[in-house]
Amino acid sequence: MSQLMKPLTFLLIILIGYILKRCGLFGQRDYCIMQVVVFDVTLPASILVSFATNPHSASLLWVTLFGFLAAFIPVPFVFLATRRRPVAERAFLMLNTSGYNIGNFCFPLLQAFYGSSAIVTGAMFDIGNAVMTTAGSNVMTTSLLHVDPSRPITEQRAGNAPTLPYTKPATIEGRRLARRARLKAIALGFLKSGPFDMYMIMTLVVLFNLPIPAILAQVLTPLANANPFCSMLMVGRRSHDCHMSHHR
């Protein structure tokens, strides 16, 4: 019976988020605040506590490699499969067929059904996955389709062409500046992601078998325990938007 109550509880939390949205009590601003709380506070705390309280070894890096390949392979596959479609459609498909929602949806379920030890394996998978979802898929898509990431694709006169025309900088200095701007954008994409930063720290912990202070895990445990509720509430808040966009 207890195993049945867990999924029902999650469904109830999702329903609460949906009802709050429908009643006008959970607006877009509230969702943005909750998003910051989850991705920059409760989710990183959940990752750290899981690694601090459960065994982990460098052999789990194979799971990271698998996660990366699982998120990487769809991008070139879709690029080749859609070579006769308009560039805007290709960009949409390439960006949305890569990556998995591990932190926001999978972690709460793993934490509830299998305990915090399961998050260690899930996190190792998500490290590879996060390389693509944080910046990798965007970089690959814009590079392969010659899309300027600083402007909306609708402003780049895409038309029905499968790719945008590529204009190579005429000078060495221009190419250097363009390369520097691209690398800066990639670095900022990674550094601004709280979960990804925590993943990098945990990777070092795994590689060098570094100890995590027990007091740190104790302090962050309440935040980690709040992650399932906050994440499921966000899912409920977003479900109405997805329903509306489907009918549009």
Furthest-apart CA atoms within the chain: distance in Å: 69
Helix (H, G, I), strand (E, B) or coil at 147: coil
Residue type, position 145, single letter: L
Residue that wins the pLDDT comparison between 244 and 73: 73
Return d(Cα 198, Cα 195) in angstroms, integer.
Answer: 5
| pLDDT tens profile 201-232 | 999 999 998 899 999 999 999 999 999 999 99
Return d(Cα 103, Cα 123) in angstroms, integer.
Answer: 8
- Cα dihedral 191, 196, 200, 203, rounded to 10, equals -170
Angle at 34 between CA 118 and CA 138, to 5 degrees: 75
Angle between helices 74-81 and 61-72 (to 10 degrees): 10
Q: Is the pLDDT of residue 68 over 90?
A: yes
Q: How many CA atoms lie within 13 A of 136 on its CB side?
A: 20
| pLDDT tens profile 95-107 | 999 889 888 888 8
Question: What is the total residue count of the chain?
Answer: 248
Q: Is the pLDDT of residue 140 over 80?
A: yes
Q: Is the pLDDT of residue 79 over 90?
A: yes
Percent of the chain predicted with pLDDT > 90: 44
Q: Where are the domains of the chain?
A: 2-247
Residue that wins the pLDDT comparison between 133 and 156: 133
Q: Is the pLDDT of residue 243 over 70?
A: no
